[in-house]
Structure 1
């Protein structure tokens, strides 16, 4: 049986299902709904214990809290989380596997859930679902062998309320299971005639499974001619995998432009552009796009190392490409046999705040 897939879902597995939330912060058996204090205590004052006394947590300004600290082996199968839309780019999600002090996942919450622009858009992919109004769901498989620790950092100067639930099982993890990892980067703006790096410094073996881009266009005209390139193993100047354009990589074509409709949002199991923010002549003076591609049936496998980047290209007169200086944030998802390797600088309030 492959856990988490429809194939074999009828098979009995030798694992124990558990769940962590503010109502059961340790995930222990029989400990849910027993809180006597919490953010719902006043609402439950006439009903008492067992009546939603602790549905959420408050994270103070600048504070990092531990959502889950799980002794393994086991596997996280689902994370549900919600908070006010203002905080989607103010909270940083981190995951540490097997006691590693360095995080394997280190990403603004909104970007991890394909919502990097701080506005709701329905996402209907297989690993990530975002539902009205800001219900974040992750179905990424996250195995661990001795420990899983999930934290949230509030980079804002005000407290934040967060609702969450982390579902997992405890039991033997297959020997070939790798660790889920991410890299988040932002070029704001992208320096002239350079590329935006999605992934670098990664050691294999492993496989690349997903890209989310929050792309802010700083100029007029079409912006998505740039190629996405994957440099595998011994590749140096030239990559093994080279796409034909940004909209092509995300499964679209012809500028995502449906005649008569212009830019057109879409969300499918493996790829989509669920968010298009159009200028209104006042506050949203630039077009912004949220796009994802998940390499689930087509993972990009590497043996020793992997580097990924994307060009930002538009058009100039005479049918010539125009290098752009856009605001590009990327979240790269991949699996690795290592709990951590080299990673970019940690997201901070200044680097993740939406302008």
Structure 2
């Protein structure tokens, strides 16, 4: 709206101030750019962005209220379920990835005092970012939870090792889901791992125990198309296998 200089100034030079002067930003190597700083109470309703470059090298961080450490710290590609740096269409209630690199997040994220969102470019090249953050200013119920996300990566994972997806979470809360990008380093079936949840005081035996990796993601029998004998990609409102490379 008020910008007079920006990445679109040349294209919009005949339109003048108030038009598409600064539709995107350039984040230089090593730079952290503040995407939003919102005073609450309120709630994030949607995040839309189209990052360029290597998505693993663009780190999204979200801070609630007076936090010094982020509640969300994750490469932007992994946050939007594109962990391999390649576009793959995804349609779910929580996240949508649309042509050509349109990342959409529909998690409602309430905050009471403040919301701050940043993007850090840890790569060696500048990246261009178009983005929009839609939010509402509203009262937040006393028992309303804050959104958190952890990112972890191990390469390679030792054979037969137990991989921890989430740990260190204290207090009351609600688990809402996991995105996982899995690289196969042997010719065995990779999906036989059991998902185990250990909640509150449970330690010796899991509170919830699954039957296999593909079963946890609401598939079955190797994600296999019985006619082609190949993996079958699929997405649903709550689960899927959105990309096979």
Would the TM-score normalized by the shorter structure come out above 0.5? yes
Question: Residues 138-217 of structure 1 correspond to what in structure 2 (within 5 A)?
Answer: 138-217=105-184
Name the counterpart of 1:34: 2
Determine if the alignment matches structure 1 residue 98 to structure 2 residue 98.
no
| 1:109 pairs with 2:76 | yes
**RMSD of aligned residue pairs (Cα, Å):** 0.9
SS of the residue corresponding to residue 215 of structure 2 reads helix
* Runs of 4 or more consecutive aligned structure 1 residues displaced over 2 Å after TM superposition: none
Give the TM-score, by structure 1 length: 0.68
TM-score (norm 2): 0.97
Q: CA deviation at 1:183?
A: 0.7
Equivalence for 2:89: 122
State the secondary structure of the residue aligned to 1:216: coil
1:74 aligns with 2:42: yes
Secondary structure of the residue that 2:167 maps to in structure 1? strand
Residues 257-310 of structure 1, C-alpha deviations (whole Å, 9 max, x = no match): 112321000000000001000xxxxxxxxxxxxxxxxxxxxxxxxxxxxxxxxx
* 2:225 counterpart of 1:258: yes
Count of equivalent residues: 244
Gaps of 5+ in 2: none
Once the two structures are TM-superposed, the CA of residue 47 in structure 1 deviates from its matched residue by 2.0
3-state SS of 1:89 partner: helix
Structure 1: gaps spanning 5 or more residues: 1-32, 278-355
What secondary structure sits across from 1:161 in the alignment?
strand
- Structure-1 separation of matches of 2:171 and 2:161: 26
Separation in 1 of the partners of 2:92 and 2:233? 13
Distance apart, 1:99 and its partner CA: 1.3
Tell me the SS of whatever aligns to 1:252.
coil
Q: Could you report, residue by residue, the CA deviation over 1:183-213 in whole angstroms, capped at 9, with x for unpaired residues?
A: 1100111123311111011102111001100
